[in-house]
Amino acid sequence: MTVALAAATATTTLPCVYSGRVVSSFCYASNYLRSFSYPINVSGALSSIGIRYPSARRRCTFNVLRRGIYCLSTDISDVGFSSCSLNSYPPYGRLLPCPSENGPPRVEHLVVSEGGPVLEYISQTLNIPPLFVADLIRFGAVFYALVCPEPPPTATIEQMEAFKKYTDPSLLTKRSSIKGKTIREAQKTFRVASGDDFVEAGTYLRVHVHPKRFPRCYEIDWKSRIIAVTENYVVLDKPAGTSVGGTTDNIEETCATFTSRALGLDAPLKTTHQIDNCTEGCVILARNKEYCSIFHEKIREKQVKKLYLALAATPPPIGLITHYMRPVNLAPRLISSDFMKGWLLCQLEVMECKKVPWPTRLIEATHIEDCGWPTKDYAYECTINLLTGRTHQIRAQLAACGAPLVGDSTYMPAAIAESENPGLNPFGRNKKDYGNDEEARTLAMEEWIKHHGKEPSAAIGLQACHISWIDNDGERSYKAGSPWWR
């Protein structure tokens, strides 16, 4: 995965003196990383301290909550606070159990100038309390590489000079830790496992100071969401607003973690497949590596059948629906009804569709976001057999049919815009003929993307209602409970 550095909010470079060391430093604020792709090719921000550029600063305060649930400490006497005198950054509390809101995106890129324990180094360098850094490490929000990744084309002269300094062959040959490794191998990023881990001079660190949060995890009675427990796996009725296995910067607040704790398991459950954070329903969590591999193989061989309930704003066509998805790992997922070379086949079958009342105002207020759909008298509950399992597939395909899912703040605004302006979608049923004018096609695609909204923070009208497969000792079949809209 490549992080787009054009998203950086600001960059500044200046000499500083910190803890008796003279360093050159800079930092930027970037968007959250949402992919598990690995290795992660990030920017070569090569500093040993973060300086906050004024325009990148937004106020945010973490609330320390007195909850006795899965916390390192919730005693107010144990909570460390600090504010950075160099950049006037707001005070920090603890990450656990959960703040009332997400902090603004902040990712720091450092190169260690003096070896030592990683927790101590990050705390001193970024002027962040040690307890906060310990929480970040527990969240999986701190990464390291033996050698700093190459800076992007947008890097400044100072950044390039710093990169050349820390990757000079004469310097690298003196480091025993990278002996026998290629530069590419040494630039692979890994999560820091412990605050006591020693980092030597020249090590690259990436610190997600504000990981993406999932406060819903603390509101769920997880035992009540467990459908089945077997020797090899657990079936969970996943709540909407939670992550199955976590994000790049948060592997603490996940369905796998909280379900493991609810069952009192010694070994954490393992993710076998994903459904969107805003989707609820059946998820299989493996209890051991062996069954995790077995289930992955069943999915690859299309031996796992998944049925979904979708609550659409208008009725989609009954039967097989085929599209092709742009092979870009970014939302929104663009799809075309026509074959596109290199694009991914998407197929689903709408098995049944029935007219139901639109969710009441009370249900809407407590479960979903208002996406501006003009009429709210009736919705359409569809049973869908998912034949290919692409990210956002059902959401994108139904929206392309003019039947977006209720509460889907990403795809419903685009569907509304297309209904008001046919031809707006360059891949839709009323698309314009651009011939060989690739520039016009690209501009149209960029304009189309702008009409999509943000990812839902709550539920959408989608439930993984049924999952089944064949094991050595027979068929396995599980159903989720009633969807939120019933």
Residue 472 exposure: Cα atoms within 13 Å on the Cβ side: 3
Show the tokens assigned to 252: 């603490």
Cα separations (Å) of 59 from 80, 91, 102, 122?
Answer: 19, 10, 11, 22
Distance CA 110, CA 97 (A): 27
**Dihedral, 244, 249, 251, 253 alpha carbons, nearest 10:** -70
Is residue 135 flagged as an active site residue? no
Show the tokens assigned to 146: 């033996």
Question: Among 110, 172, 113, which residue's Cα sits nearest to residue 143?
Answer: 110
Show the tokens assigned to 50: 């973060």
Residue of 266, 276, 433, 473 marked active site: 276
**How many other C-beta atoms are found inside a 10 Å radius of the C-beta of residue 137?**
20
Do 393 and 325 form a contact (C-beta atoms < 8 A)? yes
Distance CA 423, CA 435 (A): 15
Residue type, 291: Y
Show the tokens assigned to 458: 């709550």
Distance CA 270, CA 285 (A): 5
> Mind telling me the catalytic residues?
276
